[in-house]
Chains A and B, each alone.
Chain A
Amino acid sequence: SQTIHQWPATLVQPVGSPLSLECTVEGTSNPNLYWYRQAAGRGLQLLFYSVGIGQISSEVPQNLSASRPQDRQFILSSKKLLLSDSGFYLCAWSVGSPGHADYEQYFGPGTRLTVT
C-alpha cells in the first residue's frame, strides 16, 4: 500500500533562518506531488505541484521554493523565513497519470511551522 511521510512534524524557526521540509511517498511511482499551506482556521492554499522529477509549478509567488530531486521525494525550502510563513504545511500525492481512472489525492501528516 501507499504511504506518505513528512518531516519534521513540528518546527520552530527564527525569522530569517532557512527552511527545508521533506516529503516522501512509498508504494507508487511517478506520482503528482503537491505542497499546501494551511493557516490557522483557513483552507488549503496550493503552493507548488510537480508532475515529474525536476518539474515544479508554482501557484503563489513568495519566498518559498520546491524541488523534486527523486521521483517520490518533494522538498519545500526557503532561504529566509518570514513571520507570515508560519502555518501547517501539507504534502500530498495523486496518481494522476494518463490511463489511470483514479485521481484521488492523499495527504501526509503535515508539518507545523512556527516562525518566531
Chain B
Amino acid sequence: GENVEQHPSTLSVQEGDSAVIKCTYSDSASNYFPWYKQELGKGPQLIIDIRSNVGEKKDQRIAVTLNKTAKHFSLHITETQPEDSAVYFCAASFLGGSYIPTFGRGTSLIVHP
C-alpha cells in the first residue's frame, strides 16, 4: 500500500518568512495530492491540491510542487502570517477506485509575529 512521509514535524518561522513542507510517497500509481490545514480543535480543511498531470499549482501565497519521478511533493507558503499557524497534512491517493487517501503525520507550523 501507499506510504507517505512528511517533514518536518515542527516548523517555526518568523512572520514574513517562507515555509516549506515536504512529503514523499511510495506508490507510483498515486495521482492526486491534497494538502490540508488543521487549526486547533477543528477538522482539517483542504487548502490546495495537485494532480499528477501538472508540476506546480499556485493560489495566492500558497503553492504546491510535484516531482513524479522522485515521488515527492511540497507545500510552499510565502509571506507567512500568524494566522498560518496550524498543523498541515499532506496526502496521496489514486483517483479511479474507492477514494482512500494516505495521510502524512502532519507538520505543526508556528509563525512568530
**Residues of chain B lying within 8 A (CB to CB) of residue A94:** 99
Tell me which residues from 6 to 32 in chain A have a Cβ below 8 Å from any Cβ of chain B.
32
In the complex, the answer to whether B43 meets A108 with C-beta atoms within 8 Å is yes
Contact with B along A103-114 (1 / 0, CB 8 A): 111111110100
Q: Report which of A49, A104, A112 forms a contact with B98, defined as CB distance below 8 A.
A: A49
> Interface with A: B52-60, B71-79, B103-111, which one?
B103-111
Q: Which 7 A-B pairs give the minimum distances between C-beta atoms?
A: A107-B43, A43-B105, A96-B99, A103-B99, A44-B103, A110-B43, A107-B44
Q: Which residues of A contact B (CB under 8 A)?
A: 32, 42-44, 46, 49, 51, 57, 90, 92, 94, 96, 103-110, 112
Q: Which residues of B contact A (CB under 8 A)?
A: 32, 34, 36, 41-46, 49, 89, 93, 95, 98-101, 103-106
**Residues of chain B lying within 8 A (CB to CB) of residue A49:** 98, 100
Overall SS of chain A's interface: strand
What is the CB-to-nearest-CB distance from A46 to chain B, in angstroms, rounded to a whole number?
Answer: 7
In the complex, the answer to whether A44 meets B44 with C-beta atoms within 8 Å is yes
**Residues of chain B lying within 8 A (CB to CB) of residue A32:** 98-99
In the complex, the answer to whether A43 meets B98 with C-beta atoms within 8 Å is no
> 6 interchain pairs (CB within 8 A)?
A32-B98, A42-B106, A44-B89, A103-B95, A105-B46, A110-B41
A112-B44 Cα distance, complex, nearest whole Å: 14
Known pairs A103-B93, A112-B41; list 15 more (Cβ under 8 Å): A32-B98, A32-B99, A42-B106, A43-B103, A44-B89, A49-B98, A90-B44, A92-B43, A96-B99, A104-B49, A106-B46, A107-B36, A107-B43, A107-B44, A108-B43
In the complex, the answer to whether B98 meets A109 with C-beta atoms within 8 Å is no
A19-B71 Cα distance, complex, nearest whole Å: 41
**Residues of chain A lying within 8 A (CB to CB) of residue B44:** 44, 90, 107
In the complex, the answer to whether B42 meets A109 with C-beta atoms within 8 Å is yes
Q: Report which of B34, B89, B105 forms a contact with A104, defined as CB distance below 8 A.
A: B34
